[in-house]
Amino acid sequence: MRAHGERDYPFECCGLMLGRFENEGRKIVAETYPISNAREEEAKRNRFLIRPEELIRGEKYARERGFDVVGFYHSHPDDRAVPSQYDLEHAWPTYSYIVVSVQNGRAVDLQSWEMENNRSRFNKEQVVSEAGA
């Protein structure tokens, strides 16, 4: 995710996190599924938004590997790893949202967020890294 954010800089990258839902709200991320680098140059200038057909394609890919889509990631070029109001308005509960802060082309921070069930705000989620995502 950090590498993808650096690659797409100064544009926002985005992608899916594939894995499994565990007990007590834990999620295992087994694989990432990059979306933005398959896009047209013009579309990359738009803000982070995963189109329905891209999500369906990602879900199909996940199912074929026995995974679920457990969340989404995107980068904030030259901005903090904190979801914007726009991100909140386009998010769904249950999923994890990872935001990577990319400053001057280098990924400097990564935070995971989960939305409050009433959609009012994001709460920080702990990331326990196994393989150095």
- Are 61 and 33 within 8 A, CB to CB? yes
Nearer to Zn ion, 28 or 84 (CB): 84
DSSP lists the bridge partners of residue 34 as 15
Q: Which amino acid is at 53?
A: E
Nearer to Zn ion, 1 or 67 (CB): 1
CB of 20 to Zn ion, least distance (A): 25
Nearer to Zn ion, 8 or 87 (CB): 87
Residue whose structure tokens are 């199912």: 63
Interface residue list for Zn ion (CB under 5 A): 48, 84, 87
Helix, strand or coil for residue 76? strand
Paired tokens of 34: 């990059």
CB of 37 to Zn ion, least distance (A): 17
CB of 76 to Zn ion, least distance (A): 5
